[in-house]
Amino acid sequence: MTSFAPPRERSPLAGAATALALAGLVGAGLWAARRPQPRPQPGSALPVETARQPAARRARQGGMLLAASAAIDGATEHYRGGFHRWEMYLGPAASIGALAASAMQAAMPRPLREGLLLTAAGVGLAGHAFHARNILDRPGGVCWSNLFYAAPIGAPGSVALAGLAGLAATMLERREPEMPHRRGRWIAIGTVAGLLGTTAEVALLHFRGAYHNPAMYIPVTLPPIAALTLGAAAARPSPTRLRLAHRMLGATAMMGLVGTAFHAWGVHRNMGGWRNWQQNLLVAPPLPAPPGFTGVALVGLAAIDLLEASE
């Protein structure tokens, strides 16, 4: 028999998606790992003080949305996977922990709160490794079939983002930023990475759906534009740039909510529609996924608040 090398479908898009997602996480992780300034600055300017509150609130809301989205989506997808290994409980559990931490705010002791959020960030990062192994274990390895249908390589990133967003909120609440623009910039970098990583995953999954509806292009075009404007505003803040970034992030946040409506329509379009929910909630477009964009966008708006304050 003639011998042939086993096929390996190299997929540039998926590679880029992974790289982007990881870059986003590394960026956000660096930001999170940064030790807070030990001494508060009592003499900070008044505008910064006023910006701090809404920024913290937005970051917290963003973190909550991200955590809720990751928890429901992760639980649904892992249920689909039959929870066939115990580690599959970790992602949804960590997301619920992050959700509780962000939601309960001061009602939860700070060490527990930050512990839960850090755990979510860690579990999300580890999730990538598990998902990568799931892909490599299947016949074909890194090939389109497995990128489409094995454990999604980008998905755990949303758990990590939920943790990082919550951490950002706790830090903003805790003390005056010494240099709000620097903090704003770090949050902006994390947001840009989160937006691009999420976009990459959506691009892969909407490609799997053959972009059969033109609306499926919106979540792969609008968020990168928002990321671009936010990046520009963070690099060299100006009122025009900040205004533009604010609008684009607002649009992205809206898109996340409208996306759920589109996905609900998708469930209806599958065979049996909502009556066949046992199947369609698992195989149709995921309802909890689009608000993840809203969550990231809210964190981005928090960055804008801080950047505006220092302008």
Partner 1 sequence: MTSPPRRYPDYDVLDKRDSPSWDDITRHVVAGRLNPPERQFFDDALWDVLIALCDTIMPQPDRDRPIAIWIDAALAQNRTTGTRYDNLPPMREAWKRGLAALEAEARLCHGRPFHDLAQDAREALLKAIDREEVAAPEWNDLPPRRMFREVLANEIVRVYYSHPDAWSEIGFGGPASPRGYVRLGPNRRDPWEAEESAATRRSAEP
Partner 2 sequence: MISQGSEIRAKDGRAPDVFSRDGWVAMRQYREAEEVDVAVIGTGAGGGVVAAKLAEAGLSVVAFDAGAFYRPLADFASDEREQDKLYWTDDRISGGDDAIEMGSNNSGRAIGGSTVHFQMVALRFRPEWFQARSRLGYGRDWPVDWREMWRCYDEVEDALKIAGPVTYPWGPKRGRYPYRQHELNASAQVLARGAEAMGVDWSPCPISTVSAPRGKSPPCVYRGFCKIGCSTNAKQSILNTYIPRALAAGAEVRDLAMVGRIETGSDGRATGVHYHRDGEWRFQKARRVVVAGYSIETPRLLLNSSSPSHPQGLANAEGLVGTELMVHSNHAVWGVMEDEIRWYKGPPSMAVCEHWNYDDDKDFHGGYAFMSQGPLPTDFATSMVKNLGVFGMELRRRMALYNHMAGLKIVGEVMPTPANRVELSEETDALGLPLPRITFRFGENDRKLSDHALRFMRTMHEAAGARDIFETAGSAHLMGGCRMGFSAADGVVDGAGRAFSCPNLWIADGSVMPTGGGVNPSITIMANATRIAGHMIGAIARGEG
List residues binding partner 2 (CB under 8 A): 1-7, 9, 11, 138-140, 144-145, 148-149, 207-210, 212-213, 266, 269-272, 276, 279, 283
Segment near partner 1 (CB under 8 A), from 16-24, 107-115, 174-182, 271-279? 271-279
Burial 241-266 (b: 16+ CB within 10 A, else e): bbebbbebbbbbbebbeebbebbeeb
Residues that contact partner 1, how many (by CB under 8 A) = 11
279 near partner 1, rule: CB under 8 A = yes
Residue 271 in the binding site for partner 1 (CB under 8 A) = yes
By CB under 8 A, tell whether 278 contacts partner 1: yes
Q: Among 178, 258, 276, 311, which residue sits at the site for partner 1 (rule: CB under 8 A)?
A: 276
- When binding is defined by CB under 8 A, the residue of 43, 82, 111, 214 that contacts partner 1 is 82
In sequence order, which ranges of 43-179 are alpha helices (DSSP H)?
Answer: 46-80, 90-104, 110-137, 144-149, 156-174
**Residue 2 touches partner 1, criterion: CB under 8 A:** no
Our CB check for partner 1 shows the closer of 35 and 84 to be 84
Residue 47's binding partner out of partner 1, partner 2, none, with CB under 5 to 8 Å set by partner kind: none
Q: Which contacts of 33-38 are long-range, i.e. CB under 8 A and separated by 24 or more positions?
A: 34/186, 36/171, 36/174, 36/175, 37/175, 37/178
Residue 43 binds which entry of partner 1, partner 2, none, CB below 5-8 Å type-dependent: none
Nearer to partner 2, 7 or 38 (CB): 7
What is the rounded distance in angstroms from the CA atom of residue 125 to the CA atom of residue 24? 11
**Which stretch, 33-41, 77-85, 172-180, 213-221, contacts partner 1 (CB under 8 A)?**
77-85
How near is the Cβ of 251 to partner 2 at its closest, in Å?
A: 26
The encoded tokens of residue 131 equal 């998902």
Least Å distance, CB 271 to partner 2, is 4
Q: Which is nearer to partner 2, 79 or 149 (CB)?
A: 149
Residue 3 interacts, among partner 1, partner 2, none and using kind-specific CB cut-offs from 5 to 8 Å, with: partner 2
d(CA 12, CA 176): 44
Instruction: Give the interface segment with partner 1, choosing from 53-61, 100-108, 113-121, 268-276 (CB under 8 A).
Output: 268-276
Give the CA dihedral 294, 299, 304, 309, nearest 10 degrees: 140
Cβ–Cβ under 8 Å, residues 187 and 302: yes
Task: Report the distance separating Cα 183 and Cα 306, nearest Å.
Answer: 7
CA nearest neighbour of 188 among 232, 222, 243, 158 = 232
User: Minimum Å distance from CB 18 to partner 2?
Assistant: 16
Nearest to 308 by CA among 229, 223, 224, 245: 245
**DSSP letter string over 268-292?**
HHSTTGGGGHHHHHHHSS-TTSTHH
Residues lying near partner 1 in the complex (CB under 8 A) are found at 80, 82, 84, 271-272, 275-276, 278-279, 282-283
